[in-house]
Structures are given as C-alpha cells and as structure tokens.
A and B are shown apart, each in its own frame.
Chain A
C-alpha cells in the first residue's frame, strides 16, 4: 500500500474559520487527489494535482483551494468554512494509469 497519511484525522471548527487539511505520501506518486464523502453522494472530486505546482478543479471545487509545493504533500484549504463543508475528506494518490490509493480520511465538522 502507498504510505498516505492525512492530518488532522478529526477536526471540529466554527463557521467562517480557515481550515487546512494535509496529505502526505511516501511513494513518490505523481498524481494526488482530494475527495469528499457524504451520505447519498458517494465520493466527489474536489481538486487534484498532476505534479508539483500543477493542480486542477474537480466536480465540487467551490470554496476550496489546494497547493502542492512538494511531490509528497498536497494541502486542501477551506478559506472560510461553512456547515455545508462538514464531511469526510479523503486524499488519494495515483501513479500512471493505475488505481487510486487512499488515505484513512479526515472527518471535519463545521459548527
């Protein structure tokens, strides 16, 4: 399995505060992804990266930004958290045309 760690694993915050979730990988995979998982919606792609400083939007990118300054780290930032962003966030990596390898998820609650 790809070594993927997400931090924090759990976070409770208040509406309007900024939040950053971190994804760290040790496998030197080129591609990194952020998804959110919500009941009834499955996994929805927020943003992804295809290399250092190269990122693109996914299906539900509004209210989120990302940065990738090193191959191993992919940050997801909520500039001003809203209750609709309460979710479980999954980071994933991919090398080439193969499958995604997932982290364990970060549960975010916005009050």
Chain B
C-alpha cells in the first residue's frame, strides 16, 4: 500500500528566506502527486499537482515542487516566504491505477518576523 512521509512536522523560517518542505512516498511504478495547504481554521486547497510531463511543477503563491522518481520524493519549495504563508502543508500521493489518495501527516510552516 502507498504511504507518504513528511519528514518535518514543523519548520520555522524567517520572513523572506527560502523554504523547502520535504515529502517522500513509498516506491511505485507510476504515481500522481499533490501538495495541499490548510490555512488556520480553514479547509484544504490545492497548491500544485504532478500528473505527468515536466518534473518541475509550479503552483499558486510562488510555490514549486520537483518530482524525483529515483528518490521517490516530491519536495515543495518557495524562494522567499511571507507571513501569509503560515499554514500547514500536506503532501499526498495516489498510484495511477488506484483510486485512493493518501496524505502525509503534514508540516506546519512558521514564519518568523
């Protein structure tokens, strides 16, 4: 069964500094990959997705992620964070031949002034 590991439960970073949130999934031949964001007291919204094609995926709010098949990773990056990026970020994966979408445990991004 597919599983997702988000290596950091919390990441503090200074405002305007770069950030990387790490995500690894269990090996599979073919996967779909997603990053979702949950702002305080809100639901989840999609940041970006990888279905096929280019391994570098750009999303909303200046975020991007790179699919690395050999390392089974899909790390999320932003070159310069803003206080408004304070949120919890979830990585999710689905095998292309499976209907289930499995989420990681989430990473809380704390922006320091």
Residues of A within 8 A of B (CB): 31, 33, 35, 40-45, 48, 50, 56, 58-59, 90, 94, 97-100, 102-105
Given A41-B105, A42-B105, A97-B32: A58 and B46 interface contact (C-beta under 8 Å): no
Given A41-B105, A42-B103, A45-B101: A97 and B96 interface contact (C-beta under 8 Å): yes
The contact size tier of chain B is 20 to 34
> Is B103 a contact partner of A35 (Cβ separation < 8 A)?
yes
Total A-B Cβ pairs within 8 A: 52
> Is B99 a contact partner of A50 (Cβ separation < 8 A)?
yes
Measured in the bound complex, the distance between the Cα atoms of B100 and A94 in whole Å is 11
Measured in the bound complex, the distance between the Cα atoms of B49 and A31 in whole Å is 18
Partner of B101, one of A33, A41, A50: A33
Q: Give 21 A-B contacts (CB < 8 Å), ordered by A residue.
A: A33-B101, A35-B103, A41-B105, A42-B6, A42-B90, A42-B106, A43-B90, A44-B103, A45-B100, A45-B101, A48-B99, A48-B100, A50-B99, A56-B99, A58-B100, A94-B101, A97-B96, A99-B34, A100-B46, A102-B44, A105-B43
Chain B 89-109 per-residue mask, 1 if CB under 8 angstroms from chain A, else 0: 010100010011111111000
Residues of B within 8 A of A (CB): 6, 9, 32, 34, 36, 43-46, 49, 51, 90, 92, 96, 99-106
